[in-house]
A = this chain, B = another copy of it.
Amino acid sequence: MEILITNDDGIYAEGIYALAVALKKAGNVTVVAPDTQRSAVGHAITITDPLRVTEARRNGKFFGYAASGTPADCVKLGIKAIMKKRPDLVVSGINLGGNQAYNILYSGTVSGATEGALLGIPSMAVSLDTFKNPDFGPSAEFAVKVARQMARRPLPKGTLLNVNLPNLPAKKIKGVRVTNQSRTCFNDWFEKRTDPHGNTYYWMTGDYEPKDADKASDLNALRAGYVSVTPIQFDLTDYKFLSELEGWDLH
């Protein structure tokens, strides 16, 4: 199995290293990842600047290709310019920080896997739900397990898997839940400040402590100590609303 790996924390992050080492058990690994951190880039692509690609070494060995672009750029580059064979699997991660609920719209990690799915390749995003003291081991091992399943079982066209793990030792993880996306999002606001030259600027900040009554959601699986696996897709049409919208006075 040919596996393309990317992330949004950058090619020198710990999470992508743990992922690449573990996935070598499942196939041939090619890493194409951003040369610097590209978090919260959403599904951005780079069309107005050229993309640079350099070889990146870690621990004294060739590790992969560092690109001056977003995760979606990296997946396109990997498939269309770098890999000699089309990958059988695209894996994006392991992200430092969970990617669940409506927040996945902002996620570079998920967008890397989305790009794989748009290009017709089985794809998954893997994220670890913590910003502190990450233990990537259980996430990397779980990614291998899912990769082996994906090699044998088809996903619907256009569907990918969004995988999140709680930051717990393997023994303390309660199990795996197949979930839906929580219908909650960040609560954010701006801190207004004045720079030394008297000019105003704003910092975006916020928290993510929503109540979510939906027991089947990714958010509540993580809170309860479970791994969350959500199948997601990108036909955004609100089909239920189509017929009502037909009744609006738009003509």
Contacts and interface: CB of A to CB of B under 8 A. Distances in A.
B241 A231 contact: yes
A208 interface: no
Place the interface of chain A in its size category: 35 or more
A interface secondary structure, majority? mixed
Interface stretch (A11-19, A34-42, A127-135): A34-42
This protein's copies in its complex: 2
Contact of A40 (B44, B178, B231, B233): B44
Contact of A237 (B153, B180, B203): B180
Contacts of A46: 40, 204
A236 B185 CA distance: 14
Contacts of A81: 190, 192, 202
Interface in A169-194: 175-176, 178, 180-181, 183, 185, 188-190, 192-193
B201 A183 contact: no
A181 B239 CA distance: 10
A73 B204 contact: yes
Interface stretch (A22-30, A56-64, A83-91, A103-111): A103-111
A-B pairs with the 6 shortest C-beta distances? Answer: A42-B42, A42-B43, A232-B236, A180-B237, A231-B238, A50-B201
